[in-house]
Amino acid sequence: MLIKIAPSILSADFSKLGEEVLRIEKAGADLVHIDVMDGHFVPNITIGPPVVKSLKKVSKLPFDVHLMIENPDMYIESFADAGADIISVHAEACRHLHRTIQKIKQLGIKAAVALNPATPLCAVEWVMEDVDMILLMTVNPGFGGQKYINGVTRKIEELERIVESRGLNIDIEVDGGIDTETVQYVTKAGANVIVSGSTIFAAEDTAKIIQELRMNSYR
Ligand code: DX5
Ligand code: ZN
């Protein structure tokens, strides 16, 4: 599967977000990963639909909106209207996951389900046929700059095996602690959509770090 690099703007300079998004677009990013946090599902608060809407005016890249919020059903439509191209909801936050996925797809955008590191893969077993992507968290969600949790590598491998054996055409995204070293483990295990925040935004040369992440990926 094609490797896609999705810089997380959580590590960008929020005082000039538009410029930061343009910077990653020019540097060769494939997606813009937008971390939405509500202070309930995760212990941090970030951005909402108005910010997504403003950023949509400056970038042509697909917006990969990662909802780390309680009751995502209430906000899906607002994020779709604001310009989300893919919406990820956490299985842990959805009481009726299947219904939530259908709701996203009815809005004409792609649907993904995210799993925390401790959530087993069986949480998505019966919706795998319905989603475009599964996001495996490789840190506990809430903050950028955390260390990659090694144990998740096996979970990526197992998901890849299931996806392969069912003949499904879905992306496997990983999020948290991805740098030029850990990108090798996750892509070897089967991930193809790579979120990276602090590594990309801390680098002097954005195009170079994105290229390095791509080059270090296993194909
Ligand atoms: C964590 C967020 C991530 C985060 C990744 O809750 O979902 O997208 O920004 O940041 P790094 O790459 O710094 O771990
Ligand atoms: Zn994220």
- CA separation for the pair 196, 177 (Å, rounded): 7
pLDDT band at 7 (very low <50, low <70, confident <90, very high): very high
Residue 183 Cβ < 6 Å to ligand 1: no
The residue to which tokens 């797809």 are assigned:
105
Whole-number pLDDT of residue 127: 98
For ligand 1, the distance from its centroid to the CA atom of residue 165, given in whole angstroms, is: 30
Burial of 87 (0-12, 13-18, 19+ CB in 10 A): buried
Whether 139 shows a pLDDT value over 90: the answer reads yes
The CATH class of the 4-215 domain is alpha beta
Give the mutation target among 66, 139, 200 for probing the ligand 1 site: most ligand atoms within 8 A of CB.
139
List helix spans (H) across 57-169.
76-82, 97-106, 152-165
Whether 86 shows a pLDDT value over 90: the answer reads yes
The atom number, within ligand 1, closest to the CA of 197 reads: 12
Burial of 119 (0-12, 13-18, 19+ CB in 10 A): middle
Query: What does the domain layout of the chain look like in residue ranges?
Result: 4-215
Whole-number pLDDT of residue 209: 98
Whole-number pLDDT of residue 219: 75
Select from 201, 121, 194 the least CA-distant residue to 155.
121
For ligand 2, the distance from its centroid to the CA atom of residue 40, given in whole angstroms, is: 16
Residue 179 Cβ < 6 Å to ligand 1: no
Whether 136 shows a pLDDT value over 80: the answer reads yes
Residue 137 neighbours by CB under 8 Å, 6+ apart:
114, 115, 116, 117, 152, 175, 176
pLDDT 10s digits, 40-67? 999 999 999 999 999 999 999 999 999 9
- CA separation for the pair 133, 87 (Å, rounded): 10
According to DSSP, the residues that pair with 87 across neighbouring strands are: 65, 111
For ligand 2, the distance from its centroid to the CA atom of residue 209, given in whole angstroms, is: 19
Residue 7 Cβ < 6 Å to ligand 1: no
Select from 41, 27, 37, 161 the least CA-distant residue to 93.
41
